[in-house]
């Protein structure tokens, strides 16, 4: 037993030395996190100078410092349009802004929703299509689809190969980067509130982290599953499949 413990200790020391040599140590992790958080500030400067009401975030393995140079990980960007107000209830409607109401029913896949467009001048449903991504459902509601026509056209213009790459909700012209368009919702949906009541093994997250999480809100992104129930998809999770009953356009989008 003593020999086994000694060999395990030596193996652990050698493994730690190798990991340290490739840059996985506390100093490098802290430096990577600080670097990408500073990059996030820098990429938002042009938007502030042009008075553009949007915010760009860098997230994922680069900001978390859970990757190394040899892994050649891509960089994940989230672009949030702050001109849009996403409301879980009618009482959160805001005058003068582009408002989207979150809709859910018993057939809505987990952690998914539909976004209904509302009027800007009064808290009533919009009756007009405002863009190429707006569609009208069988009940006459204006729903925002996930087609992202303008985004596709823009990427097509700047793509060297003319190809657009899709990774889940991301759409990009360069596989080194993932770009996700998002709307921010100040209110927390029911699906997100479980984290405040579930058991916390090891007392994580810390209480102060949970307090901040309650005030953060959520981002809504276009779904990454197939556009049509009849299309084949690489996703094996039933949570991201369109229910068979929702075969009518635009529910599949």
> How many residues belong to the chain?
253
CA distance 215 to 219: 13
Q: Would you state the structure tokens that stand for residue 130, as one six-digit string?
A: 């405002």
* pLDDT tens digits for range 178-229: 989 999 999 999 888 888 888 877 778 888 989 999 999 999 998 865 444 4
* pLDDT tens digits for range 61-108: 988 888 877 788 889 999 999 999 999 999 999 999 999 999 998 878
pLDDT at 239: 38
Question: b/e string for 74-103 if b means 16 or more Cβ within 10 A?
Answer: bbbbbebeeebbbbbeeebbeeeebbbbbe
CA distance 239 to 232: 15
Please identify which residue in the block is written with the tokens 């410092």: 65
Please identify which residue in the block is written with the tokens 């996930």: 146
**Boundaries of every domain in the chain:** 2-73, 84-240
pLDDT band for position 252 (cuts 50, 70, 90)? low
Of 34, 55, 38, the closest CA to residue 46 belongs to 55
* pLDDT tens digits for range 111-150: 889 999 999 999 999 999 988 889 888 888 999 988 887 7
pLDDT band for position 236 (cuts 50, 70, 90)? very low
Q: Is the pLDDT of residue 171 over 50?
A: yes
Please identify which residue in the block is written with the tokens 């990429």: 43
* pLDDT tens digits for range 26-43: 888 899 899 999 999 999
């Amino acid at each position: 037993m003593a020999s086994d413990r000694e060999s395990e200790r030596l193996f652990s020391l050698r493994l730690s030395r190798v990991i340290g040599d490739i840059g996985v140590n506390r100093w490098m992790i802290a430096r990577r996190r600080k670097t990408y958080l500073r990059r996030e500030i820098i990429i938002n400067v042009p938007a502030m100078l042009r008075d553009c009401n949007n915010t760009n975030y860098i997230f994922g393995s680069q900001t978390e410092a859970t990757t190394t140079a040899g892994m050649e990980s891509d960089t994940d960007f989230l672009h949030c349009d702050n001109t849009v107000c996403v409301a879980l209830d009618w009482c959160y409607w805001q005058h003068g802004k582009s408002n989207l109401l979150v809709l859910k029913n018993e057939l809505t896949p987990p952690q998914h929703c539909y976004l209904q467009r509302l009027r800007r001048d009064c808290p009533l449903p919009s009756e007009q299509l405002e863009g190429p991504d707006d569609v009208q459902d069988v009940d006459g509601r204006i729903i925002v689809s996930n087609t992202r026509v303008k985004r596709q056209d823009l990427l097509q213009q700047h793509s060297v190969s003319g190809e657009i790459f899709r990774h889940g909700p991301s759409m990009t012209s360069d596989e080194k980067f993932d770009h996700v368009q998002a709307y921010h919702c100040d209110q927390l949906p029911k699906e997100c509130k479980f984290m405040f009541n579930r058991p916390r093994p090891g007392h994580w997250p810390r209480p102060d982290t949970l307090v901040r999480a309650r005030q953060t809100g959520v981002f809504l992104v276009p779904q990454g599953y197939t556009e049509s129930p009849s299309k084949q998809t690489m996703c094996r999770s039933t949570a991201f499949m369109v229910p068979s009953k929702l075969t009518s356009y635009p529910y599949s989008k």
